[in-house]
Amino acid sequence: MLVTEQNKRFDIQPEVLITTSEGIELTATIVMPKHREMTLPTAMQFTIYADEKSHIKTAMHAAAHGYIGLIANSRGKRLSSNTITPFEHDGQDATAVINWISKQPWSNGEVVMYGGSYNGFTQWATAKHMPKALKAIAPYAAASLITGLPYENNIMLTANYEWAFHVTNNKTVDHSVYANWQKRNALVKELYESGKSISSIDKLDGKNNPWFQKWLKHPSFDTYYQAMVPVKQEYQRIDIPVLTITGYFDGGQISALDYLTRHYQHNPNADHTLLIGPYNHHTAQNKVRTHHSNYKLDAVALEKDTEEIVFQWFDYLLKNTAKPTLLKNKVNYQVMGSNQWLHKASLAEMNKNAQSFYFQTNANEQGHYLLSNKMDSKLNFIKQTVDMADRTTEHNVSPWPIMSESFNVDNGVVLMTEPFEQPMELSGQIHGTLSLAVNKKDVDIGYTLFAIDNTGKSMHLQTYISRASYAHNMSRRELLTPNEKKNIPIVNARMTAMLLKKGSRLAIVLNVNKNRNAQVNMGSGKDVGSETIADAGKPLVLTWFNDSEINLPLKVWQP
């Protein structure tokens, strides 16, 4: 009966083969409203996740909103006879599809793109070429190879190791790849504890992973990646409206905000809107759940329904209807614990009231160091020693669940503010400079950020990782001089927003990033992808200097 009703309302074309001028074959699913009396705009997704049933449902939803719904797949998927190729050609292939759409009798010449994660990446890849018919994009949790997965701030993560199998094993997607999570956990545990190089992970797995090996050969933001996404002046040409949606707990937040930051950096007049709240990678792209881990979301945070907001926004742009109520300004964010959405003109406006903090070097009884607004007049330091060959412990690990009855960490340098004398709003990104010296040629640094209430309960807000040799320039590695003091900027830190009640404190745990979730940088100066435990040498000695400046986006709460 449902199928009969669908057929009454929609023209459904499950598989349409589109051949580009270069002879590339691409498969599309198209759904149109029946009994339409005029040409319509097309709402398009471009994805490597080929799934006909899912595509029909997604395209039907677009058609129900008065659009031609079209889901196109990367080359090599479904009917395409080409080789399956993740990422590399999606921008030019999606552009070819848009040009094809604009010539169809049912098209009014307007195309909008939307979708999340990989489908967010493909929108930016398409915007690099700026086809004439493209009128707006709505990327949520948008992926990026160098700031999201498989790399985060030039550090290769293990989380994405299996992904290439998932999308290249067959013409659709291979769901068996992620079915055995116990096997995946055992694999990354074995890799970490063995001290073998991350490049040997597929040997441990017993099968070749050529895509993972290819990406390992590109640890910097080099021409390989730059050929796929907008760079520098290309952002100037992106003059269409953009709506970015992400979450404080979204693994794709860094890449989503990196696109936004670069867009405004190279195009100050960009029409780019951000919607962000306490969402993870799934809930940023879909309807919201009541909890993230054991944190219960505020009632107003549940108001976000990503696709409904996106289509309301498309209607606002193309059909002159009302703007979505949550999009009151360029930056729209939900302050956890306040049950309020707030709205600012830019990320810069959010961060402009940041307070500068410096750490004292005398530990208290708990072994913690005070974070205060006053920098000591005398240069001093805290030393941290980490044996990179010791695989019985891990450093800079994100705790789960995120809320705890007390604040406890296994290692790291704990910096803690005094209790706040009045309610404070923490909204924005941490910026600043970490002043350090290390007895190696490189180091992967990081921190974990916690909010601690007046009863001692703690909440993990974010984890930061960065490779010191790339912190100044993601495109070029600059090795450190051992034992020489160096200022390392905090780059691409995550955004968060939370109401801190009177008596609350913030804790930052400075650390070395050494755990099973990422490759381990031994500091030898060699290609980190090929380093093994044999390159560890003497224990790493990291000196944190007290002229480090940590800018926290804090201000007095004004309800």
Above 90 in pLDDT, residue 351?
A: no
> What local confidence, expressed as pLDDT, does residue 5 receive?
65
* Element of type H or E holding 9: helix 2-9
Nearest 5°: the CA angle 68, 71, 77 is: 150
Neighbour-count burial for 535-558, b at 16+ CB within 10 Å, e otherwise: bbeeebebebbbbbebbbbbbebe
Helix (H), strand (E), coil (C) string for 339-372:
CEEEEECCHHHHHCCCEEEEECCCCCCCCCEEEE
What is the pLDDT averaged over residues 407-432?
97
CA distances from 152 to 89, 290, 436, 494 (A): 22, 28, 21, 11
Residue whose structure tokens are 């595509």: 55
> Could you tell me which residues come within 8 angstroms of residue 559 by beta carbon, excluding any fewer than 6 positions away?
338, 340
Neighbours of 454 (CB within 10 A): 13
Question: Which phi and psi angles does 488 have, rounded to 5°?
Answer: -110, 115
Query: Quick check: helix, strand or coil at residue 331?
Result: strand
Above 50 in pLDDT, residue 63?
A: yes
CA distance 466 to 478: 13
Neighbours of 428 (CB within 10 A): 26
Angle formed by the axes of helices 90-102 and 118-127, nearest 10°: 70
pLDDT digit string, tens, across residues 317-350: 999 999 999 999 999 999 999 999 999 999 989 8
CATH 3.40.50.1820 is the classification of domain 2-349: yes
Query: Quick check: helix, strand or coil at residue 457?
Result: coil
Alpha helices in 148-282 (DSSP H): 163-168, 181-194, 201-205, 210-216, 223-226, 253-266
pTM over 0.75: yes
| Average pLDDT along the chain | 97
> What local confidence, expressed as pLDDT, does residue 1 receive?
47
Above 70 in pLDDT, residue 236?
A: yes
Above 70 in pLDDT, residue 2?
A: no
Residue spans per domain, the chain: 2-349, 351-556
Q: Are the beta carbons of 142 and 121 closer than 8 angstroms? A: yes
Long-range contacts of 207-213 (CB under 8 A, 24+ apart): 207/165, 209/161, 209/164, 209/165, 210/164, 211/86, 211/164, 211/168, 212/150, 212/160, 212/161, 212/164
Above 80 in pLDDT, residue 426?
A: yes
pLDDT digit string, tens, across residues 176-226: 999 999 999 999 999 999 999 999 999 999 999 999 999 999 999 999 999
Q: Are the beta carbons of 199 and 529 closer than 8 angstroms? A: yes
> Could you tell me which residues come within 8 angstroms of residue 495 by beta carbon, excluding any fewer than 6 positions away?
248, 253, 257, 276, 333, 347, 428, 429
> What local confidence, expressed as pLDDT, does residue 370 receive?
98
> What local confidence, expressed as pLDDT, does residue 559 receive?
80
> Could you tell me which residues come within 8 angstroms of residue 123 by beta carbon, excluding any fewer than 6 positions away?
46, 113, 114, 115, 137, 138, 139, 142
pLDDT digit string, tens, across residues 251-295: 999 999 999 999 999 999 999 999 999 999 999 999 999 999 999
> What local confidence, expressed as pLDDT, does residue 6 receive?
81
Question: Which phi and psi angles does 255 have, rounded to 5°?
Answer: -70, -40
Question: Do the domains at 2-349 and 351-556 have one common CATH topology?
Answer: no
Q: What is the Cα gyration radius of the chain?
A: 24
Residue of higher predicted confidence among 7 and 101: 101
Residue 516 burial by CB count (10 A; 0-12/13-18/19+): exposed, middle or buried? middle
Above 80 in pLDDT, residue 3?
A: no
Neighbours of 255 (CB within 10 A): 29
Alpha helices in 38-144 (DSSP H): 52-64, 90-102, 118-127
Closest CA to 542 of 519, 517, 518, 521: 521
Helix (H), strand (E), coil (C) string for 118-163:
HHHHHHHHHHCCCCCCEEEEEEECCCCCCCCCCEECCEEECCCCCH
pLDDT digit string, tens, across residues 478-522: 999 999 999 999 999 999 999 999 999 999 999 999 999 999 999
Above 80 in pLDDT, residue 37?
A: yes
Beta bridge partners of 84: none
What is the pLDDT averaged over residues 541-552?
98
Neighbouring C-alpha atoms within 13 Å toward the C-beta of 204 = 21
CA distance 356 to 433: 11
DSSP classification of residue 530: G
Neighbours of 204 (CB within 10 A): 13
> What local confidence, expressed as pLDDT, does residue 149 receive?
85
As its CATH architecture, domain 351-556 has Sandwich (2.60)
* Element of type H or E holding 318: helix 306-318
Question: What confidence tier does 4 reach under pLDDT thresholds 50, 70, 90?
Answer: low
Q: What totals of helices (H) and strands (E) does the chain contain, helices first?
A: 12, 29
Q: Are the beta carbons of 276 and 333 closer than 8 angstroms? A: yes
Cis peptide before 150 (omega within 30 of 0): yes
The amino acid present at 225, given as its one-letter code, is Y
Beta bridge partners of 51: none
CA distance 24 to 19: 5
> What local confidence, expressed as pLDDT, does residue 178 receive?
93
CA distances from 122 to 90, 230, 250 (A): 6, 11, 18
